[in-house]
Structure formats: structure tokens, C-alpha cells
Amino acid sequence: MAKPLSLDPNRLFPSDLIQRSIARELYEGVAALPIISPHGHTDPRWFADNTPFADATELLLAPDHYLFRMLYSQGVSLEKLGVPSRNGATTTDPREAWRLFSEHYHLFRGTPSRIWLDHVFANVFDIDIRLDETTADHYFDVITGALAGENFKPRALFDRFNIEALATTEGPNDSLDPHKKIAASDWNGRVISAYRPDPVVDPEHEDFQNALDQFAKITGEDTRQWRGYLNAHRRRRADFIAIGATSSDHGHPTAQTADLSDRECEALFNKVITGDFDTGEAELFRAQMLTEMAKMSLDDGLVLQIHPGSFRNHNDWLFKTYGRDKGADIPMRTDYVGALQPLLNRFGNDSALSIIVFTLDETSYSRELAPLAGHYPALKLGPAWWFHDSPEGMRRFREQTTESAGFYNTVGFNDDTRAFASIPARHDVSRRVDCSFLARLVAEHRLEIEEAHEVAADLAYRLAKRAYKL
């Protein structure tokens, strides 16, 4: 017999009854606020074409590397889950992939993925029994049937989720036509982009040389000359700004920055484009390019996001077989104090520049990042990210950063997701956890209740809107 699925209205609130009551009051004041999703990886074609999602697997399983990594760790084949290899599209039946996922749904107990998915099942699709191998077909049929209706098309879900603004992420050579199509439509949903130039900034990227050539074709600049290369970035950034972008995004291995002379930059660039460089020179080039992007941000106003500290594609076989973003990225120890000093010495005192730094190294929160953000006008802290986008991770973030950086040197929440339907679930978790943290401060007489209401709204909505110029 199927077990019931129900979401407790007090989930994620403190067990202490006094704090729980305060948290519930605070949450009720922010639960219905619009969603600002200023950084993520949803596909703009969903909203440009407004084509219905085909089935439960396409909507919920196929785009979510959080799910792949857990299933793969337990020996589940990505091929059987319907993940296409580099050789082409998958032939796996979506229903069979969903059944396999459902059979292993118990693996997600205690994880944020379980919280998000149960929220989607109950609140988006009105399913009231738990997912397991016995209910897999019921889930697949209910979800897939709903997706065929007008109310479950991408634009309708966007409106239903109360999303005020959503940013996708495109590379320097990606087409911006989907964004132009959205802008030309009669739909008023705000879907913008973020400029992610990693393929033409990272000399160790597997497609670097080809990407440079494509970059030249798109921009009309000589990307094999230092000045032409920089001009190509300026042109491309302008293209992104024209379709609404307010930020750039940089997924470098480390937070290293540099401040080389023009002559040193040109010499280093010449080594990079010929392929005659070592790992130290590749790192130095990436470091210098963060400083170059900061210079451009002062000219064009894009917020500079730095997402360092991931050893990407750690599993060589998986990368060669299936490509990027399949759950094989691993957090690394990351230095910020020394790494960011060249950039901050150059531009950190300029409040006209906005730099948002994220981390996968939680040991750096109280030791490095919060003190840095609590000092430099240009620097703000991004929220708990990726592996730490969880109730525990969010609590640790607030506990370790608030004493040095306060609330107002942070930028609210962003979901950073590829899984569109999880967006309201993720924001709901963030709002509940932040309200719980604030409730403790109120209960300990460290914050007045009216202040807590104001901070809760700032964390849920206003800070992200302000930080990302939305």
C-alpha cells in the first residue's frame, strides 16, 4: 500500500517551540514574495519556444546532476537513466529511466534533493503518495499527463512560480536568439542571461583553441591579438547587455587574481594562444582575466560573479563518455585572502564595482570571506552554493558570516539550478532556514521582531534584486 506524501507546514523550523513560533511568523511574511533568480542554468529555449516538457523524466531527472551523482555513486548506469553520451542521443525509454530513479529514491533521504522533489510532487503536481518503485508509473503518468496541458507549459509555470526575474547563463559563443525571441514575444516574463566566458578564458579548457576562433567570427575581432581579444569580450558583453544581462560569471578553479602590466599581459597571451604554456601560466592567465573583467565591469556595469573551488570533471572516464556537468565535480580547498588581493588592491575600494564571491570551501567563511566582505566596498558574499545549497549549509553560512559581514554584505539567495521545477522549492527552503536563523536572534533578544521581519524580506527578495541590479 502506498505511503502518504505530506509536507509539514513547520518543516525546517526550529524544534524549540518559542523559536518555531517566531520563525513561522517571519516566514508567513515572506513566503509569497516574488522570486528573484539571478543566477542559474535553465535553458532559455524553454521560454522562447514554450514547448511542453515531454514527460516526467525530461522535466525532473534529465537536467539534474544532483540526482545523477547520487545514483551513479550507488552503481546506477547513466545510460539507463537516459543520459546521452557524447556519441549521440539516448535510446532509453523515459518511463524505464523514471522507474529506475523511483526504485532508488530512498537514496535521497536526508538530502536537499529529497526536500526539493517532494515539494514539486506535492505543490506543483498535487501528488499525495510517496514515490517508490510501486508508485513509479502513477507518478510518471500524472506528471506527464499534466505537462501536456496549457497550465504546465514553461511560461505558465514561470508565472505560476511567481518568478519576477530569472537569469540563465550563456557562453561567449552561444546564440542569444532565444532571448531575443522572448523579448519579441507578447509574454512579459523577464528572462535574461549572464555572460560566462570560461571557454575562451581558460587555456586548459578542452575547446579553447576552437572557441577562440568562433569568438573571432561572432565578434569580428582578431582574437589572436591581445587588444582584439579584449575588444571581442567588450563586444560580446554589449550583446549580452542588450538582451538584459546584468552580470558576468566565472567558474575558475581558484579565486586567484593578478594585476600584470600591459606588456606582461601581451607576452602571456601570446604564449597561451600558441599552446606553449604550463599549468602555472594557465592559472596566471585566468587570474589576470578576472582583473580584466573587473575593468570592463567598471565601464559597462555588469556585476562580476566568481565561482571558484571546484575540481571539475574529476572522473576522467565519465567526462570522456558523457561530457561536463554529470555530477563528477568535487569541491577543493580555496584561498581567498591572498588570491583576491591583487584584484581588491586595484579595485576593491571602488563602490561602483560589484564583485560577488562564492565558495565550496566552508572553512573560508569566517576566516577569510566574511572579513573581506566586511571591509571592501566592492565585495559581497554569494549564498551557500552547490554542495552547500542545503538547510545545514545555509545555517552554517549565516552562523559563520553574519558576525563579520552582517546581512547586508551578502546578496540574498540564488538557486543556480538546471532543474526548472525546483526553483520555488529551493527558494522556499532558503526562506524557511533564514527565518529560523532570525528567530533565534529574536528569541535571544539580539534582534527586535520588526527588524527581523525587515531582514527576512531583504534576504528573500530585496538583497538579490539590489545586488544583481534587477
Q: According to the 3-state scheme, what is the secondary structure of the chain?
A: CCCECCCCCCCCCCCCHHHHHHHHHHHHHHCCCCEEECCCCCCHHHHHHCCCCCCHHHHHHCCCHHHHHHHHHCCCCCCCCCCCECCECCCCCHHHHHHHHHHCHHHHCCCHHHHHHHHHHHHHCCCCECCCCCCHHHHHHHHHHHHCCHHHCHHHHHHHCCEEEEECCECCCCCCHHHHHHHHCCCCCCEECCECCHHHHCCCCCCHHHHHHHHHHHHCCCCCCHHHHHHHHHHHHHHHHHCCCCEEEECCCCCCCCCCCHHHHHHHHHHHHHCCCCHHHHHHHHHHHHHHHHHHHHHHCCEEEECCCEECCCCHHHHHHHCCCCCCCEECCCCCHHHHHHHHHHHCCCCCCCEEECCCCCCHHHHHHHHHHCCCCCEEECCCCHHHCCHHHHHHHHHHHHHHHCCCCECCCCCCCCCHHHHHHHHHHHHHHHHHHHHHHHHCCCCCHHHHHHHHHHHHHHHHHHHCCC
Q: Going by C-beta distance under 8 Å and a sequence separation of 6 or more, which residues neighbour residue 179?
A: 44, 48, 168, 191, 192, 193, 243, 244
Q: Using the Cα atoms of residue 323, residue 201, residue 67 and residue 189 in order, give the sign of their dihedral.
A: negative
pTM over 0.85? The answer is: yes
Placement of cell 566574511 in the chain: 370
Q: Which CATH number fits domain 17-51+153-467: 3.10.450.50, 3.20.20.140, 3.40.1010.10, 3.40.190.10?
A: 3.20.20.140
Count of all residues that appear for the chain in the document: 470
- Rounded-to-10 torsion of CA 371, 375, 379, 381: 30
Kindly provide the b/e burial profile for residues 327-351, where b requires at least 16 CB atoms within 10 angstroms of the residue's own CB.
bbbebeebebeebbebbbebbbeee
- 318: Cα separation from own chain's centroid: 22
Alpha-carbon distance values, 295 to 96, 156, 220, 239, 261 (Å) = 51, 39, 22, 17, 14
The two beta strands, 379-381 and 310-311, are unpaired
CB 190 within 8 A of CB 217: no
Q: pLDDT tens track of the chain, all 470 residues?
A: 789 999 999 999 999 999 999 999 999 999 999 999 999 999 999 999 999 999 999 999 988 989 999 999 999 999 999 888 888 777 899 999 999 999 999 999 999 999 999 999 999 999 999 999 999 999 999 999 999 999 999 999 999 999 999 999 999 999 999 999 999 999 999 999 999 999 999 999 999 999 999 999 999 999 999 999 999 999 999 999 999 999 999 999 999 999 999 999 999 999 999 999 999 999 999 999 999 999 999 999 999 999 999 999 999 999 999 998 888 899 999 999 999 999 999 999 999 999 999 999 999 999 999 999 999 999 999 999 999 999 999 999 999 999 999 999 999 999 999 999 999 999 999 999 999 999 999 999 999 999 999 999 999 999 999 999 99
Q: Which residue has the cell 545510460?
A: 79
Q: What are 41's three cell numbers?
A: 542554468
Q: Which of 194, 198, 203 is nearest to 290 (CA)?
A: 198
Domain residue spans of the chain: 17-51+153-467
Residue type, 348: G
Q: How many CB atoms lie within 10 A of CB 422?
A: 25
Helix 226-242 / helix 279-300 crossing angle, nearest 10 deg:
50
Say if residues 131 and 105 touch (Cβ distance below 8 Å). Answer: yes
Type of residue at 428: D
Task: Name the residue among 414, 429, 394, 387 with its Cα closest to residue 470.
Answer: 414
